[in-house]
C-alpha cells in the first residue's frame, strides 16, 4: 500500500539544497543530517516533503523532494551498512561524492567521529556546532527507496491545503483517506510515476558542492 492510513506527512522548508540533506543519490534518498526533530519523530511509512525556503528564491514553496520512509538506521549502522558505502563523503571526489551524508560513526572510545564533509570546517576538521546539532537530539537516519527528487526542477504543490504557512520547524499532517496531505502525495506520485527513485534534476546549489555550512551562523564557506 502506497499510503498507510495511520501515517503522517512531515513538511519542512529547505534552506540549502546541495544534495546533502536530503541526499538523493545511489538509489536511496536519505536524510542523515539537519532536521533532527523530523529524523527522531518520523516512522517507517511516514512521508517527508521538503519545499523551497525563501533562500531558494523562485523555488520558495515548491516541492524539492518527496520521500516515503522505508527504513530508519542509527548512525553507526548506517556507516557500517555496505548499501550506503557510496554515500560516505569524499571531498576531493566528484560533486556527488563531495556531498556524501554518511559521515558520523563512533571511535573505539564511543566518541562521535565527523568525517571530512559538507558539515566539517573548511580545513576538514570537525565542526562541533554541526556535530552537536546533527547527533544531539537523535542519531537516526531516514532512508527511502520510494522517492521523487525534483531539485532545481521543483514543482508546485498546494501548501495552503495542509495549513502550511511560515512554520519554523515542520508541519505534521495526518494521512487519513480524505486528507489534503494524502491528495498532495497521490497527485505527485501519479504525475511523476516514471521518475520514481530518480534524480530528476540537479540540486539547486549543486555546483557549489565544494562549499561547507555552519548551522550555528548559517554561513557557507
- pLDDT score recorded for residue 5: 87
Q: What is the pLDDT of residue 19?
A: 98
C-alpha cell at 96: 556527488
Report the half-sphere exposure of 84 (CA within 13 A, side-chain side).
29
The mean pLDDT value for 103-116 works out to 97
Check pLDDT > 80 for residue 166: no
- pTM metric for this prediction: 0.96
- Burial letters for 158-197: b for 16+ Cβ neighbours within 10 Å, e otherwise? ebeebebeeeeebbbbebeeebbbbebbeebbeebeeeee
Q: What per-residue confidence (pLDDT) applies to 177?
A: 83
Kindly report, residue by residue over 135-149, the tens digit of the pLDDT. 999 999 999 999 999
Distances (CA, A) of 68 to 34, 44, 65, 168: 18, 8, 10, 22
Q: Provide the 8-state DSSP code for 60.
A: B
Averaged pLDDT for residues 64-81 = 98
Confirm if 49 and 66 have CB atoms less than 8 A apart: yes
Residues with Cβ within 8 Å of residue 18, at least 6 apart in sequence = 99, 118, 203, 205, 206, 208, 209, 211
Q: What is the mean pLDDT of residues 108-121?
A: 97
Mean pLDDT of the region 119-127: 97
Q: Mean of the per-residue pLDDT values for the chain?
A: 96
Torsion sign across C-alpha atoms 193, 23, 76, 97: positive
φ and ψ at residue 29, rounded to 5 degrees: -100, 125
Amino acid at each position: 500500500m502506497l499510503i498507510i492510513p495511520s501515517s503522517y506527512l512531515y513538511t519542512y522548508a529547505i534552506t540549502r539544497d546541495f544534495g546533502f540533506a536530503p541526499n538523493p543519490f545511489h538509489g536511496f534518498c536519505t536524510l542523515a543530517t539537519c532536521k533532527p526533530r523530523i529524523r527522531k519523530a518520523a516512522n517507517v511509512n511516514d512521508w517527508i516533503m521538503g519545499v523551497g525556503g525563501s533562500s531558494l528564491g523562485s523555488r520558495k514553496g515548491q516541492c524539492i523532494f518527496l520521500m516515503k520512509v522505508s527504513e530508519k538506521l542509527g548512525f553507526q549502522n548506517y556507516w557500517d551498512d555496505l548499501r550506503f558505502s557510496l554515500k560516505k563523503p569524499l571531498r576531493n571526489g566528484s560533486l556527488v561524492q563531495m556531498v556524501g551524508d554518511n559521515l558520523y560513526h563512533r571511535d573505539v572510545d564511543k566518541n562521535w567521529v565527523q568525517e571530512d564533509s559538507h558539515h566539517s570546517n573548511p580545513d576538514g576538521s570537525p565542526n562541533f556546532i554541526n556535530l552537536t546539532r546533527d547527533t544531539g537530539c537523535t542519531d537516526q537516519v531516514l532512508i527511502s527507496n520510494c522517492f521523487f527528487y525534483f531539485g532545481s526542477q521543483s514543482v508546485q504543490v498546494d501548501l495552503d491545503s495542509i495549513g502550511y504557512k511560515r512554520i519554523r520547524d515542520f508541519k505534521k499532517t495526518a494521512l487519513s483517506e480524505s486528507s489534503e496531505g494524502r491528495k498532495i502525495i497521490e497527485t505527485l506520485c501519479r504525475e511523476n510515476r516514471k521518475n520514481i527513485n530518480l534524480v530528476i534534476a540537479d540540486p539547486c546549489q549543486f555546483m557549489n558542492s565544494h562549499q561547507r555550512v555552519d548551522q550555528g551562523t548559517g554561513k557557507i564557506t
